[in-house]
Amino acid sequence: MKNIDPEWNNFRNIGDGGDGFPSDLQYSIKFHGKNEVIFRQGDLCDALNILMTGSVKTEMITENGNLMGIEIINAPRPLAPAFLFSGNNRFPVDVTTLEEVEVLRIPKDEVIRLMTAQPDFMQQFLTHNANRTQFLTNRLQLLSIKTIKGKIAHFLLEQAGEQGDTFTLNRNQTELADFFGVARPSLARSLSEMIEENIIAVNKREYSILDKRKLRDLLL
Amino acid sequence: MKNIDPEWNNFRNIGDGGDGFPSDLQYSIKFHGKNEVIFRQGDLCDALNILMTGSVKTEMITENGNLMGIEIINAPRPLAPAFLFSGNNRFPVDVTTLEEVEVLRIPKDEVIRLMTAQPDFMQQFLTHNANRTQFLTNRLQLLSIKTIKGKIAHFLLEQAGEQGDTFTLNRNQTELADFFGVARPSLARSLSEMIEENIIAVNKREYSILDKRKLRDLLL
DNA sequence: TTTAAAGTGTAACAGTTGTTACAGCTTCAA
DNA sequence: TTGAAGCTGTAACAACTGTTACACTTTAAA
């Protein structure tokens, strides 16, 4: 899930002139403090916002009031660029800063101009949105697994594919439960049972897959 | 959810020459019969496929083997265009024909050429993908609601927003259960209870909202 | 019209998850 | 070192959903 995006660092050169950007490109830069909500679910999205420095957290509020953790975004990356061109162009999630951040803002019309003038930028934009779609599809798949053990199995097998059979997560149990959209004690119970059956081993945030076959069986 | 996409009918003129398409554009057309699986989850996606006539059904097979109905697609519309540019460019879903169909296929390189040459096409492509993303976000939101009554409430309130408080669905109860990702008898039970409490009324596929306040309370 | 297939209403029961509560363990800062 | 706050393990119970089965109704084809 990391580094699937092309670099957006070239935007650091904006305004320097002679770097491929139209010299008359209109844009602005905004600064925000820590733990600030910079976009809310439903906010109008009429410009391309690129997170230049810092990190933010996007979270969707489900209609039953629960938080449903989606993603942590580190600079440099655009924020919800797909929605810039959608029919109902409003932010789908809340965006909260995790530290001090710097956001570059380019109006929609300028984005279109930039895209037609610069095919590389267009490709980058397309690829980024494609990867976002894939991310959402993946989340959808995870959520469509009904049992908690099934979610755990799906998630761990995915991690094992990228890394070895032993790996460290950057989430604690509470955050993992949120990620799965389940209650924390329920997740703990399922994990306990899987440890008891010698399918996995867990030490703090380090997870080991002991029996990949049994883990796959949990997906059935 | 209907008619959110721009028209793709202009592709009917392809090959006529003098209609804006490059005269040397490479493409091919394929025909398929009814109930044929034309793309499978995981298939490589190296061309833009546009459904020109007929209709197809996309369904995702969750890892526990259940079907999870996603969407019915009517011509003219592209099939999974976002994945053309994604890092792992593979189909996220199975695509099954509902009738005889005609599919226009344009290789990826040609799509890029077409897009830079024709800004209108680019905009159309961007908007389409943006709306797809919004669709997925909406599905994600629906799935993240835990209770069946909550899902029903969310869905009916959404319908009521677009239409009046009485409307007809194009799904039967079984398909609605698939759409929600729940068991059919469970859905029937929840509907029965909501009818019993005079929150809604149902006659075949016609649904009426009788008490919008109580319906909203189900989202809490 | 008849008949098979599809769709719907309902019930009993099993299985999984959520809720709540509490104790022990870590971590981090004063 | 010592709190205090956060994280984890666990248990009992409630709530909800899934499974299976069957009768009934509707639809569509012969």
The residue type found at A131 is N
Which pLDDT does position B182 carry in this prediction? Answer: 95
Output the distance from B61 CA to C9 C1' rounded to whole Å: 29
User: Half-sphere exposure of B193 toward its Cβ, with a 13 Å CA cutoff?
Assistant: 13
A4: pLDDT confidence band, cut at 50, 70 and 90? very low
Of A82, A126, A139, the CB nearest to B85: A126
Closest residue, CA to C1' of D17 = B186
Helix (H, G, I), strand (E, B) or coil at B26: coil
A66: pLDDT confidence band, cut at 50, 70 and 90? very low
Output the distance from B153 CA to D13 C1' rounded to whole Å: 28
Which pLDDT does position B60 carry in this prediction? Answer: 59
How far, rounded to the nearest angstrom, does the alpha carbon of residue A140 sit from its chain's CA centroid?
Answer: 13
Q: Give chain B's count of helices (H) and strands (E).
A: 6, 11
Which pLDDT does position A24 carry in this prediction? Answer: 79
Per-residue pLDDT reduced to its tens digit, B163-219: 789 999 999 999 999 999 999 999 999 999 999 999 999 999 999 999 999 999 998
User: Half-sphere exposure of A57 toward its Cβ, with a 13 Å CA cutoff?
Assistant: 16
B104: enclosing H helix or E strand: strand B101-107
How many other β-carbons are positioned within 10 Å of the β-carbon of residue A193?
12
- 8 A C-beta contact, residue A165 and residue A212: yes
Which pLDDT does position B14 carry in this prediction? Answer: 75
Whether B29 and chain A come into contact, CB under 8 Å, resolves to: no
Which pLDDT does position A213 carry in this prediction? Answer: 92
Per-residue pLDDT reduced to its tens digit, B43-75: 899 999 999 998 888 875 544 344 455 567 888
Whether B117 and chain A come into contact, CB under 8 Å, resolves to: no
Distance CA B213, CA B219 (A): 10
Helix (H, G, I), strand (E, B) or coil at B199: coil
Which pLDDT does position B20 carry in this prediction? Answer: 67
Which pLDDT does position A67 carry in this prediction? Answer: 46
- ∠ at Cα A28 (A27, A32), nearest 5°? 150
B18: pLDDT confidence band, cut at 50, 70 and 90? low
User: Half-sphere exposure of A186 toward its Cβ, with a 13 Å CA cutoff?
Assistant: 12
Which pLDDT does position A17 carry in this prediction? Answer: 61
- Bases on strand D under 7 Å from any protein CB: 7-12, 16-21, 26-27
pLDDT of residue A137 exceeding 90: no
CB-based contact A220 B64, cutoff 8 Å: yes
pLDDT of residue B41 exceeding 80: no
Can you tell me the mean pLDDT for A14-35? 79
Mean pLDDT, chain A, integer? 84
Lowest pLDDT segment from A158-162, A164-168, A191-195, B37-41: A158-162
- 8 A C-beta contact, residue B55 and residue B98: yes
Can you tell me the mean pLDDT for B25-51? 89
Of B4, B66, B129, the CB nearest to A82: B129
> Cβ of residue A184 near strand D, that is under 7 Å?
yes
Report the candidate in B51, B52, B46 with the shortest Cα–Cα distance to residue B95.
Answer: B51
Q: Where are the alpha helices (DSSP H) in chain B?
A: 108-117, 119-143, 148-162, 173-180, 184-196, 212-217
Which pLDDT does position B4 carry in this prediction? Answer: 46
Which pLDDT does position A1 carry in this prediction? Answer: 41
- Measure Cα distances from A177 to A69, A163, B217 in Å: 9, 21, 25
Mutate which of A70, A86, A89, A143 to disrupt the B interface (most B C-beta within 10 Å)?
A86
What one-character-per-residue DSSP string does chain A give? --S-SPP-GGGGGTTSSSSSS-TT---EEEEE-TT-EEE-TT-B--EEEEEEESEEEEEEE-TTS-EEEEEEEESSEEESGGGGGSSS-B-SSEEEESS-EEEEEEEHHHHHHHHHH-HHHHHHHHHHHHHHHHHHHHHHHHHH--SHHHHHHHHHHHHHHHS-SEEE-SS-HHHHHHHHTS-HHHHHHHHHHHHHTTSEEEETTEEEES-HHHHHHTT-
Output the distance from A34 CA to D21 C1' rounded to whole Å: 58
pLDDT of residue B3 exceeding 60: no
Q: Which residue has the higher pLDDT, B117 or A20?
A: B117
Whether A67 and chain B come into contact, CB under 8 Å, resolves to: no
Per-residue pLDDT reduced to its tens digit, A166-203: 999 999 999 999 899 999 999 999 999 999 999 999 99
Per-residue pLDDT reduced to its tens digit, B98-153: 888 999 999 998 998 888 888 888 888 898 888 888 888 788 888 888 999 999 99
- 8 A C-beta contact, residue B111 and residue A155: no
- 8 A C-beta contact, residue B27 and residue B14: yes
Kindly state the tokens that stand for A165.
Answer: 């059979």
Distance CA A140, CA A143 (A): 5
Chain B residue nearest residue A147, CA to CA: B64
Q: Which residue has the higher pLDDT, A171 or A92?
A: A171
Distance CA A116, CA B205 (A): 47
Å between A144 CA and nearest CA of chain B: 6
Whether A188 and chain B come into contact, CB under 8 Å, resolves to: no
CB-based contact A220 B141, cutoff 8 Å: no
Which pLDDT does position B16 carry in this prediction? Answer: 66
Distance CA B111, CA B141 (A): 32
Report the candidate in A14, A65, A22 with the shortest Cα–Cα distance to residue A41.
Answer: A65
Mutate which of A64, A118, A162, A186 to disrupt the B interface (most B C-beta within 10 Å)?
A64
Distance CA A101, CA A96 (A): 10
Chain B residue nearest residue A84, CA to CA: B130
